[in-house]
Chains A and B, each alone.
Chain A
Amino acid sequence: METALRRVPTSETLDQAADLSAPVLSVDGLAVRFDGQSIDLIDGISFALRPGETLCLVGESGCGKSLTALAVMGLLPTPPARIVGGRATFQEHDLLAMPARDLADLRGDRIAMIFQEPMTSLNPAFRIGDQIAESVMRHKGVSYREARYAALAMLRRVRIPAAEKRLDAYPHQLSGGMRQRVMIAMALVNHPDLLIADEPTTALDVTIQAQILALIAELQREAGMAMILVTHDLGVVAEVADRVAVMYAGRFVETGPVEAIFADPQHPYTLGLIGSLPSLGRRESRLATIRGSVPPPERLPPGCRFSTRCPFADTRCQNETPPLVAVGDMGHHVACFKAPLENHVAERAA
């Protein structure tokens, strides 16, 4: 099977998209705080997503990428986590202020989410056909027969072999890759406008991962669905992203078009991430490493949160928060006082 995994964005289509289509989702200054903590764990996250666009949130465990996704979906565990600032607008709806009932109407219909572990979304006690059909009946108000037919069509769409038979299977009777596909079928059965995917392929083998990514890309191309993909795998990012946001300790440290992030990385944390990846080509050198690990929230510095691990940090970095500023004209932004590095630290390397 030959599958084009990425749409090829030319500058022309990008410009058109920028001109013609209003964002599906725009998030502005989102802040999340845990009860009893004195700092915002998610601190001033802003982004906008247009139809058909894929934004990848990249970062290590605990950086807040999943928390951001959950906050947008209205799925934060409150308490202890609370949204303390910002706005999230989805097609004119104010996601953070709308009543829980209305939000429940949107979720599973216009906005869908898939998780790393399919068993968190599948009920082990119900047949998968009924679980998918339930979502259709809930949002489309159709009969069980029609809903079941939609479920069958969707299972075929995600290439579940012998789909008629699998309708009556229980989740435990399926392999991991199949469960993941069932979960995707359930998320996409109502053709949402926005898909939030939290590490959807991390637990899968590479051959199954390739199948799932190809499938998502195909469905996205057809329906113009926008996607937020949360991942730590830069290989997956390079493959599916239009734009990338690199997150560290609850803040965006660098955002931009995927080409710019990989060809022209600016933030020391982005550099560390890229440098610490082994390559599939001939070995060039030892892997770059980032010293230490992410400090616990109560020990985060007042300034740049990466300054405790950054080899270039000075007292200004520790005390003052660098704003996201534009580099170039492609929508590439970086939050670092030392960017571009070659202008600020050249003498040190000499």
Chain B
Amino acid sequence: MNADVLVEAHNLVKHFGGERRLPFGRTPTIHAVDGVSLSIRRGETFAIVGESGCGKSTLARLLLCLIAPTSGSVMFDGREVTAESPQALRGLRRDMQIIFQDPYSSLNPRMTVGELVAEPLKVHGIASGRDLDDRVAAVLRRVGLRPEYAARYPHEFSGGQRQRIGIARALACGPRFVVGDEPVSALDVSIRAQIINLLEDLKAELGLTLALVAHDLALIRHTSDRVAVMYLGEIVELASRDALFEMPRHPYTRTLLAAIPVPVPGRHHHRAVLEGDPPSPAAPPPGCRFHTRCPFVEDICVSERPVLRDAGAGHSVACHLADRLPPPEREAAGFVAAPARRERLALFTAAQEAASRNGH
């Protein structure tokens, strides 16, 4: 295993359902994750993107061993975590943490903020007594909350503050690998930016490795180093951020990128709109799973399942036609913000920073 790699997945498969039901038959099998292999390098932000039901959250939970795979394995720092005993796995949790999407349902309403943040420290026997209180206060301060808040309950906080509590809880025991499962999608736009900036600061400061599960492509473009695109339980494309956004190879990635509304008036006068819904993960189509909606579909796509293969420069794509597809439509020359907007935004940012320096 490459020393640069912190987390590695080999051919992960997770099926749900398929249980025997009396008198005959079985519940349908949901192919949530179907043969995913990837490696996440130390210190990078690895994004997993896809639409609802593509299996991205299941994959994140598999990487953390929060659920057991149907087959396949996960290595963390050279250890095969899928083969560890429950006790050993519990010890490993110190190193692997998750930040959940919904700050309203992921915090126990009957525990104070202090108790919530102290819990992982106690479970792992990291601190107790005065030391515990100090550590809780330090973590709270680090995520931008006042230490006095430790005595309050989650319902007293806004969504953005609750997400800070969730982050404090995930970081309390000093993990090396943190998964953010849609960490900002439940938040308002301006609060979102606060949390994204906080995550970036924490990552740099604590040397974290981050896996980000998201459906917001602009967010991924802003924060990640490498991106895996999922469709119906499979990775269809994996590349560095700039390569993926500027030279997408898979037809699905292209339609996904084209579908994003861009905050530039007049930009999208014409565009291709993907027809139909994604097929059910209980009955994924044969061959390439995207062939039912792909504008370039050929016979081979219906009969043969494409494998994810290297297309050069660390860019992998699972498409039979990848080498023959026309180049993606280029966006018109990059958007240049009007001078008035740029100047005022600069004033705003400068004043905001000055205000937060004086204010806190």
Contacts and interface: CB of A to CB of B under 8 A. Distances in A.
A241 to B, nearest CB: 8
Given A239-B268, A342-B344, A349-B347, A293 B158 contact: yes
Given A232-B188, A290-B190, A279 B218 contact: yes
B261 A235 contact: yes
A180 to B, nearest CB: 11
A236 B264 CA distance: 10
A178 B278 CA distance: 12
Contacts of B160: 293
A6 B264 CA distance: 12
A326 to B, nearest CB: 16
Interface stretch (A21-29, A79-87, A132-140, A269-277): A269-277
A291 B51 contact: no
B218 A278 contact: yes
A283 B221 contact: yes
Interface string B202-231: 000000000000011111011100000000
A262 B267 contact: no
B45 to A, nearest CB: 12
Contacts of B334: 281-282
A129 to B, nearest CB: 20
B255 interface: yes
B192 interface: yes
Given A275-B345, A312-B351, A289 B194 contact: yes
B269 A341 contact: no
Interface residues of B, number: 68
A143 interface: no
Interface stretch (A37-45, A190-198, A209-217): A209-217
A98 interface: no
Nearest to B245: A280
B129 interface: no
Contacts of B71: none
A287 B197 contact: yes
A75 interface: no
Q: Output the residue of A60, A275, A283, A348 with the most chain B CB within 10 A.
A: A275
A268 interface: yes
B221 A286 contact: no
B268 A6 contact: yes
Contact of B359 (A6, A258, A264, A291): A291
Interface string B73-96: 000000000000000000000000
A5 B348 contact: no
Contacts of B215: 205-206
Contacts of A161: 276
A322 interface: no
A291 B334 CA distance: 30
Interface in B143-163: 158, 160-161
Contacts of B219: 278
Contacts of B261: 206, 209-210, 213, 233, 235-236, 238-239
A293 B221 contact: no
A208 to B, nearest CB: 7
A345 interface: yes
B190 A274 contact: no
Given A4-B270, A6-B266, A275-B345, A280 B218 contact: yes
Contacts of A2: 270-272
A301 interface: no
Contacts of A51: none
A238 B263 contact: yes
B19 interface: no
Interface in B238-269: 242, 245, 255-269
Nearest to A261: B265
Contacts of B275: 1, 159, 211
Interface of A: 1-6, 8, 60-61, 159, 161, 175-178, 205-211, 213-214, 232-239, 241, 258-259, 262-266, 268, 271-283, 285-291, 293, 311-312, 340-342, 345-346, 348-349
Given A259-B266, A271-B344, A349-B350, 11 more contacts: A6-B268, A211-B274, A235-B218, A263-B265, A264-B340, A271-B341, A274-B345, A276-B193, A280-B260, A290-B352, A342-B340
- Cβ-closest 6 pairs across A and B: A235-B261, A278-B222, A311-B351, A276-B193, A287-B193, A205-B51
6 contacts: A235-B263, A264-B341, A271-B345, A272-B352, A275-B348, A280-B245
